[in-house]
Amino acid sequence: MMVFGAFVCGQTSLPALPVADTNYVRDFSNRPTIRLYLSSKFNSMVVRSNETFTDLRYRPNGNYNMGIGASYRRLTLNIGFPVPFINSDDGAKGRTRFLDAQATLHTQRQASNLFLQVFKGYHITSHTPPRVGWEQTTSYPYRPDLVQFNIGFSTLRIVNHTRFSYRATFNQDAWQQLSQGTWLYGGYATGYVVKADSALVPTRLLSEFASSATITKGLFLDVGPMGGYAQTFVYRRHWFLTVSAALGAGPTVQRLLLPASEGATTRVYLGPGWHAQFRAGVGYNSRYRYVGILYHQEHIGYVLHAQNSFAWDVGNFRVMFVHRLTDRPKRVDRGLRWLKKNTPLSVP
């Protein structure tokens, strides 16, 4: 199946920002940047079991993608497609159909992540087919009826924005030349829907889970503040390691459809939830070239009735090869100036 994905990120017109300390950060957003990349996007869901038993984990049959992209004046466009001959394990894990869009927006002061996913068809990685009592031709227990939808965002304010750059590692249009760290603060909001023809927990495993965990359909909404810290370690100006972590908590609304002896019942609960974010990058950066390995994960969880929990995550892994051009495209500059002068659009 051919997959086409693209996103454009831009910076809204704002009052002039404090100039970055050029002893620490060099800004190359006014020069065209081109990139090649390999990537793998992922998600999973986990239903927590009672003590002494194994948690139930579902994963989709994900793809490895390759693509090309370009950035100029904080506008970014990436186009990806599946890698041939690698994504061919439907016989072992079952088929997954999906829509997967993840985008990041990094400015001098803000780091934001947006995601939208729809997946149908999951396999169980925590239990074998004999353990769940299913007779199937796949190597893993496979649920073609299981569907999940999630949409959300998280955003973090960069306190030390004059000496620390998220863009240097994750958007490749800047260069962090000296080690530096920063505190982060912000918030998150997500919506998550999961549904299947029968309970998420297979019949043979029902005794290992609380009744509130035997969901047939669930809607989860959550919002809250979050905070954390990020640090980039630089060796000899070019080699870098960036680590960023943030944690948040807030209220959740849970609407669950649960099976019962007299028929399915719908229950609505208010409860606590949490949101954890982790980003990391390692590689080489210079005036003209960037090579790096990037990892990003968002982990969201909820405490269900009777103190069991349900959690899910979304993220991606990328290998980047980037080159920055010397010449600026004059036609693009003229077009951007015309848009800024003749339209109400926010043009970088």
User: Between the CA of residue 122 and those of 60, 67, 169, 271, 318, what are the distances in Å?
Assistant: 4, 25, 33, 27, 23
Percent of the chain predicted with pLDDT > 90: 55
Fill in the DSSP letter of residue 113: E
Whole-number pLDDT of residue 109: 93
3-state secondary structure of 207: helix
Whole-number pLDDT of residue 13: 39
**6, 247, 223, 224: which is closest to 103 by C-alpha?**
6
User: Between the CA of residue 225 and those of 23, 94, 189, 298, 299, what are the distances in Å?
Assistant: 33, 38, 9, 14, 15
Whole-number pLDDT of residue 12: 39
| 127 CB neighbour count, 10 Å cutoff | 19
Task: Report the mean per-residue pLDDT for the chain.
Answer: 86
CB 79 within 8 A of CB 68: yes
| Residues β-bridged to residue 122 | 60, 143
Kindly report, residue by residue over 155-205, the tens digit of the pLDDT.
999 999 999 999 999 999 999 999 999 999 999 999 999 999 988 999 899
Q: Is the pLDDT of residue 236 over 90?
A: yes
pTM: 0.83
Whole-number pLDDT of residue 30: 83
User: Which of 89-98, 119-128, 283-292 comes out lowest in average pLDDT?
Assistant: 89-98
Q: Is the pLDDT of residue 11 over 50?
A: no
How far apart are the C-alpha atoms of 35 and 348, rounded to whole Å?
A: 20
Whole-number pLDDT of residue 161: 95
Kindly report, residue by residue over 276-294, the tens digit of the pLDDT.
999 999 999 999 999 999 9
Whole-number pLDDT of residue 122: 95
Domains and CATH numbers, the chain: 8-342 (2.40.128)
Q: Which residue has the higher pLDDT, 291 or 105?
A: 291
Whole-number pLDDT of residue 1: 42
Whole-number pLDDT of residue 308: 73
Whole-number pLDDT of residue 189: 96
